[in-house]
Amino acid sequence: MRATKAVIHLENLRLNIGLIRSHIGSKPKICMAVKADAYGHGVHKVVQTALSEGVEYFAIATVQEGIDIRLEGVTAPVLCLSLPLPSEIPDLIRHDLTPLVADVGMAALLDAEADHQGRSIGVHIKVDTGMGRIGCRPDETVDIARWIARSKRLHVAGVCTHFPAADMASNLHREFTLRQIEFFSETVEDIRRAGIDPGIVHAANSGAVISYPDSYFDMVRPGILVYGYYSSSEQRREIPVRPVMALESNIVFLKSVPAGTPISYGMTYFTRESTKIATIPIGYGDGYSRLLSGKASVLIGERQYPLVGRVCMDQCMVDLGPDSDARLYDPVTLFGPDPKGPDAEQLASLIGTIPYEITCSINKRVPRTFTDLR
């Protein structure tokens, strides 16, 4: 195995799931987001671990992601959060994935294909209460529910919405989210008054799990929180989750250089004194962002050292200073749960992004290894 690897701490995943369950109570189900290869963590091991911790549902973004889970023998419900193309509908139904419906047109396509396959399927109606992405308007929802209830092969298995600002702290964002919860609750009641069972009602993402218990309904959908991070720096740190991924490598080359030595492409960094430069075999070709050039630090031993010069496709350099006792092949942590080093949230803040992007960007070239220290 190459030096650079992503170590997935399944014991932290178990911890985080347990903390979320304790926070929300025993009633709501947990639908864990495992799209984008479980946010870069390796979907198959993550799903098996989550199942062993009592997670009831999983959420993915693409039909192929759902198929990959099914091919591993997972029979738990899998909710597809994005809308499929018509050409994907046969596989979606064949592999028992649960689709969202936001209009009658999609419902009709699903009904026709389900009839062709001789199957009945449950669908979840997606209501747009303010996200502005996919979803029907609240005032359209009952008509769509009625159409589904009259269809040959479909039934309403759930109703859901999504919050764009549940992790933000301002009064504007809080009032907006509270209005969303109110609109959504009224819409669900309208479905019930029409004599239709809404099925599983769900809305709460990671931000709402923390801040809006009134949004739990029948099921919550945590994403980044399960993997050890908060979705916004504005949120209260009420649940002591731990990062699940550690990005690790080793020093593969060491050299002493005089003051004034340029490091890496573009000569953007010159050493300020005689120093030692360590080369680490990871770069933007692995998903370690070039934007981190000259901004990030890494953990070697008990100390953090600055990343210097531009991050290359396959390598990056670290200035150890003149007196470091770091040695060739010493372990290097680029981010992870160790409090002595940086984590993905800290790296994200350096380049104006979110921890989701940091973990999701670590690509397939980087092998995943798994620990489970129970």
265 in catalytic set: yes
Q: What is the pLDDT of residues 11-69, one digit of tens each?
A: 999 999 999 999 999 999 999 999 999 999 999 999 999 999 999 999 999 999 999 99
Number of domains the chain is built from? 2
- Domain with residue 308: its CATH number is 2.40.37.10
* Same domain, residue pair 214 and 255: no
Q: For the chain, give the mean pLDDT.
A: 97
Pairing of strands 78-80, 5-9: unpaired
Q: How far apart are CA 275 and CA 277, in angstroms?
A: 7
Query: pLDDT tens digits, residue range 107-157?
Result: 999 999 999 999 999 999 999 999 999 999 999 999 999 999 999 999 999
Same domain, yes or no: 73 and 185: yes
Residue 242 scores a pLDDT above 90:
yes
Residues 132/135/136/141 CA torsion (nearest 10 deg): -130
Q: Give the C-alpha separation, 124 to 141, whole Å.
A: 11
> 213 and 287: one domain?
no
Q: Looking at 187, 220, 253, which one is the last position of a domain?
A: 220
Structural domain includes residue 97: yes
Are residues 52 and 194 located together in one domain of the fold? yes
Q: Per the domain annotation, does 231 fall within a domain?
A: no
On whether both 299 and 207 belong to a single domain, the answer is: no
Residues 211 and 250 in one domain: no
One-letter identity of residue 123: V
* Number of helices and strands in the chain (H, E): 11, 19
> Does residue 186 share a domain with residue 72?
yes
DSSP single-letter state for residue 102: -
- Dig out the tokens for 99 from the structure: 């689709």
In a domain, 69, yes or no: yes
Among 29, 35, 45, 126, which one carries the catalytic annotation? 35
**Does residue 156 fall inside a structural domain?**
yes
**Single residue among 203, 220, 237 that ends a domain in this structure:** 220
CB of 196 within 8 A of CB of 146? Answer: yes
Under the banding of pLDDT at 50, 70 and 90, the label for residue 170 is very high
Can you read off the two tokens belonging to residue 30?
């947990």
Are 46 and 174 members of one domain? yes
pLDDT at 89 over 80: yes
Q: Taking a C-beta distance cutoff of 8 angstroms, is the pair 188, 155 a contact? A: no
Work out the burial of residue 193: count CB atoms within 10 Å of its CB; fewer than 13 is exposed, 13-18 middle, 19 or more buried: exposed
Instruction: Tell me the C-alpha distance between 242 and 244, whole Å.
Output: 6
27 in catalytic set: no
What residue spans of the chain are helical by DSSP H? 10-24, 35-40, 43-52, 63-71, 89-94, 104-117, 141-150, 171-193, 206-211, 344-350, 355-361
How close are the terminal C-alpha atoms of the chain, in Å? 25
Give the C-alpha separation, 161 to 204, whole Å: 8
Same domain, yes or no: 103 and 252: no
Catalytic residue among 265, 329, 340, 364: 265
Q: Look at residue 240 and tell me if it is in a domain.
A: no
126 assigned to some structural domain? yes
DSSP-derived 3-state class of residue 262: strand
For residue 211, count other CB atoms closer than 10 A to its CB: 21
Question: 189 and 81: one domain?
Answer: yes
| Structural domain boundaries, residue 333 | 245-371
Whether the pLDDT of residue 257 is over 90: the answer is yes
Which of the four pLDDT bands, split at 50, 70 and 90, describes residue 322?
very high
Structure tokens at 356: 């989701």
**Could you tell me whether strands 29-33 and 57-60 are parallel, antiparallel, or unpaired per DSSP bridges?**
parallel
Domain-located, residue 205: yes
Residues 212 and 262 in one domain: no
Has residue 230 been placed in a domain? no
Q: Please check whether residues 170 and 304 belong to one and the same domain.
A: no
